[in-house]
Amino acid sequence: MKTPPTFDQFKKTFTNGAGDRDARFIAQYGDVSFEAAYPVYVSKIMEMFGMWERISLFEKHLQNIGTQRIQSNVSESRYYYYNGIKYRFSSHRHPAGAMTSDGCVDFACDPHLIYTINF
């Protein structure tokens, strides 16, 4: 698993030109110190890394069981059909937005849906 950004990286990401907390920081964490917000940030980052790892494991599972991979003609997106549902694996969002519907799961836009799949 990946490691979260250091405290210094976190602070640099959420600092404005004057060295103060920027608007994104205040919107996400409220009026707290960098020290108080950092553990919350690390927790969210580690959750995100775990989600991406589970998506990767699911794609490997589909490959291992011989599910046909359909490569997009216009991007690096990969599609698989499994149990009657189409799954989209990609590192980018579709230009028209989420492709998630009753018949398709788009992990680029809705990665949390990985937790609804048992494999």
Q: Identify whether residues 84 and 62 lie together within a single domain.
A: no
pLDDT at res. 97: 65
Q: Identify whether residues 50 and 86 lie together within a single domain.
A: no
Instruction: Find the domain containing 50 and state its range.
Output: 1-66
pLDDT at res. 102: 67
Q: What is the mean pLDDT of each run of 10 residues along the chain (119 residues)?
A: 83 88 93 94 92 95 96 89 92 70 84 92
Q: Identify whether residues 57 and 71 lie together within a single domain.
A: no
Q: Identify whether residues 73 and 61 lie together within a single domain.
A: no
Strands (E), the chain: 69-71, 78-82, 85-89, 104-106
Q: Identify whether residues 7 and 62 lie together within a single domain.
A: yes
Q: Identify whether residues 52 and 95 lie together within a single domain.
A: no
Number of domains in the chain: 2
Q: Identify whether residues 11 and 54 lie together within a single domain.
A: yes
Contacts of 55 (CB under 8 A, 6+ apart): 89, 107, 111, 114
Q: Identify whether residues 32 and 76 lie together within a single domain.
A: no
Q: Identify whether residues 40 and 85 lie together within a single domain.
A: no
Q: Identify whether residues 79 and 49 lie together within a single domain.
A: no
Q: Identify whether residues 107 and 118 lie together within a single domain.
A: yes
Whole-structure pTM value: 0.75
User: Cα dist. 39→36, 46, 106 in Å?
Assistant: 7, 10, 30
